[in-house]
Amino acid sequence: MRFYVKEHKYYCGVDLHARTMYVCIIDKEGAIVKQKNIESCPHEFLSLIEPCRQDIVVAAECMFTWYWLSDLCRKEGIPFVLGHALYMKAIHGGKAKNDRIDSYKIANLLRGGNIPMAYVYPSEMRATRDLMRRRNYLMRMRAELLAHIQNTNHQYNLPAFHKAIAYKGNREGISERFSDECVRKSIEVNLSLIDHYDQLLRKLEYYIDKKAKVHDPEALFRLRSVPGIGHTLALIILYEIHDINRFPRVQDFVSYCRLVKPSKVSAGKLYGHSGAKIGNAHLKWAFSEAAVLCLKQSPDIKKYKARLVKKHGKAKALTILAHKIGRAVYYMFKRQEVFSIERFLNKQLIQTGRA
């Protein structure tokens, strides 16, 4: 967890909503200078903070409308802090809660150096990242349609499909399997939607790929050198990381990727684990997928995984492998190097006499 600790003359806390925003400005002694509910409008916001602009910092809690406020502050040269919503417990812990109180609490957290910071993703690549996330959502919708066809086939106890129906060439004659007219109609609707998703996703992936080759083609090439990381996973990892330098240590990176399980310790006693849902779900999914796919591409990694299974079991072995791939990607970005299987399996190769 990182905190904003720089000192300023004025601190501005914003309780941001879609149509309105409650703004509270306090000075370095904690006295309220201005507090007002205004429309979520750049002109009104700049007019309100104008008398204090010479040395002010603005903070808002992370929610879906923060993009425009962050871009406005960046354009105007005003420091902006994005508060991590899951860590800002002080806002939600009071007896009373409203926009006026929340904005004041945000300003006070900012003044005291206690506001937990989330990453402010720059606008240059942010829209492409969101487009990539939208592509993943559409792909999940397509997968649900395929699963519904499979489930319907099982419902009527029909013979299993001999080929993967994810491919268009293997989907001919599927609806004719079912004797009931309504069931056939349901399957035909699914197949029509899947064909539409296929066309849409193909164009979308081509568009995102062109953007990635402009933003950081070298990083994309380095990511694809990792066994198990193909075109789609490389795009997800590239846009979700953005700048590896925002992670001072590899431990910070794998924690952000949800590849470690934080422990709860007090007085030397372990009370379990928590915080498994804090971090980037997209990177967690990408590295978990890479851990499974790399087994098909690298015999050496497959042998390493087999040793992990004997020691830890299958589920934990894949978790360890995903964590190791995440660490490898971190150092690849830091050192600007391609993947090295010898370095990745250094200890194992030494033990087997191959190094």
pLDDT recorded at residue 90: 66
CB 29 within 8 A of CB 46: no
Task: Please report the pLDDT score of residue 100 as a whole number.
Answer: 94
| Higher pLDDT, residue 34 or 349 | 34
Count of beta carbons in the 10 Å neighbourhood of residue 313:
11
CA angle 85, 91, 94 (to 5 degrees): 145
Q: How far, in Å, CA of 117 to CA of 21, rounded?
A: 20
> Residues 122-174: pLDDT tens digits?
999 999 999 999 999 999 999 999 999 999 999 999 999 989 999 999 999 99
Across the chain, what does the average pLDDT equal? 91
d(CA 310, CA 317): 9
pLDDT of residue 354: 46
The 10s digit of each residue's pLDDT in 87-105 is 887 677 777 889 999 999 9
The Cα–Cα gap between 84 and 106 comes to 11
How does pLDDT run across 261-310, given as a tens digit for each residue? Answer: 888 888 888 887 777 778 899 999 999 999 999 999 999 999 999 999 99
Instruction: Round to whole Å and give the CA distance between 242 and 126.
Output: 9
Q: What is the pLDDT of residues 301-334, one digit of tens each?
A: 999 999 999 999 998 999 999 999 999 999 999 9
CATH classification code of 10-118: 3.30.420.40
Helix segments in the chain, DSSP class H: 42-49, 66-76, 89-92, 99-111, 123-155, 181-215, 217-223, 231-241, 250-256, 281-297, 299-312, 314-335, 341-344, 346-351
Confidence check: pLDDT of 340 > 60:
yes
Of 3, 6, 131, 42, the C-alpha closest to 14 is: 42
d(CA 332, CA 160): 44
**Which pLDDT score, from 0 to 100, does residue 113 have?**
92
Assess whether pLDDT exceeds 60 at residue 85. yes
Question: What confidence score (pLDDT) does residue 312 get?
Answer: 92
pLDDT value for 350: 41
Give the closest residue to 28 by CA, choosing from 57, 49, 8: 8
Q: Give the whole-number percent of the chain exceeding pLDDT 70.
A: 97
